[in-house]
Amino acid sequence: MQSTGEQQMVTTGRESRLIALAAAVLACLISVAPAAAQQAATTKPQMVEDVFKNVQVLKGMPVNQFMETMGFFAASLGLNCTGCHTAESLQDWSKFADEVPRKRTARAMIRMVDSINKEKFGGARMLTCWSCHRGAEVPQTVPSLAEQYTVAPEDPNAIEIVPGMPKEPTADQILDKFIQASGGAQRLAALTSWTATGTFEGFDTYHTKVPVDIYAKAPAQRTMIAHTQNGDSTTVFDGMAGWIAGPDRPLPLIPMLPGPEFDGGKLDAVLGFPGGIRQALTDWKVGFPVTTIEDKPVNIVQGTGAGKTRVKLYFDQKTGLLTRQVRYSDTPIGMVPIQIDYTDYRDVAGVKLPYHIVITWTDGQSDIELTGIQPNVPIDAAKFAKPAPANAKYK
């Protein structure tokens, strides 16, 4: 790993506490000068080769994108991380480098899929792990009569624009209705900041509830701090840049790179102040068939982020409120979806905000239940500053 003074990591005597987190990453940290701290926003991304020890095929991509490919594998084969890695890996990230038979098979499969796509589909990524595996270790070979003769429930995420569908209601109408339903332009403009407390639950909290704090400032600043058993897990979007610092991440501080990470961070921040929704994305599109979420009909609008991220927003037909967003992150092995569900809308200074947020992606699910939101409180600018690298304290 090169130590060019451009790394995003600071070494401020935290090294010793990081050892338990990621021995594989530690070597990188120690070599970094503290002066590098200021350069965060312009740093080069940490690449697979800089950080991991035994990656033979999935090279040349940023660490975060590599982790998304791991989530893609887990989703495609219906396996946890330890399905292809040793059990110790969860405590000690360097063990993810160990070889196990399934990992070798997976590597051979990556090569197989790549060559079929090249030879048979002109290099287009038509075949992925999901095409064959569909959530099973060994793909089925016999047609299922049960599937043939029953109608599977519709997956709202799978709904796409149908050519020739009437473009009514228009994107403008749906977004207008959302703004009205959220409280109307005037009340929305009067809400300029809020702070929230509640609980957070996910794989990184062993599926128990821990306290969470959220700080939000219009138009697009948002910080969430989940106080996990292993230390704080912090996600910051400061309006121009974003970072994730969590004890369960491969690196203690990960900048949101241009593309899906940045676009997602920005969208989540903007949605804290629904009046700004039109500015959050561009290239709005409708033409999706109506579908349902929890038996309630929803209209879908698609938008695109500055980094070309495709986002689908699902609005409850009756209430007009946003019930789901699905955004897509492209990786060399396939498109990875992230879904965020919003429920339990309550009144905050005349504005409807969701008190229950569930984030679902291929690597896990986080469940955030707010207990209180305080509108229009002053928030120290430091809350939106680049967070310190995560402080891992494995127990």
Given the rule CB under 6 A, which residues bind ligand HEC? 24, 52-58, 70-71, 73-74, 77, 79, 81, 83-85, 96-97, 102-103, 105-107, 109-110, 113, 127, 129, 131-133, 137-139, 250, 333, 363
Pick between residue 263 and residue 363 the one whose CB is nearest to ligand HEC: 363
Closest contact distance (angstroms) between CB of 21 and ligand HEC is: 12
Closest contact distance (angstroms) between CB of 99 and ligand HEC is: 9
Pick between residue 139 and residue 297 the one whose CB is nearest to ligand HEC: 139
Pick between residue 85 and residue 324 the one whose CB is nearest to ligand HEC: 85
* Rounded Cα–Cα distance for residues 338 and 293 (Å): 16
* Rounded Cα–Cα distance for residues 172 and 54 (Å): 50
Pick between residue 320 and residue 334 the one whose CB is nearest to ligand HEC: 334
Q: Are 77 and 139 in contact (CB under 8 A)?
A: no
Buried b (16+ CB within 10 A) or exposed e, 81-99: beebbeeebbebbbbbeee
* Rounded Cα–Cα distance for residues 120 and 80 (Å): 31
Pick between residue 67 and residue 300 the one whose CB is nearest to ligand HEC: 67
Pick between residue 77 and residue 216 the one whose CB is nearest to ligand HEC: 77
Closest contact distance (angstroms) between CB of 114 and ligand HEC is: 8
Find where tokens 């009514």 sit. Answer: 168
Closest contact distance (angstroms) between CB of 336 and ligand HEC is: 11
* Rounded Cα–Cα distance for residues 220 and 222 (Å): 7
* Rounded Cα–Cα distance for residues 46 and 49 (Å): 8
* Rounded Cα–Cα distance for residues 277 and 112 (Å): 43
* Rounded Cα–Cα distance for residues 315 and 181 (Å): 11
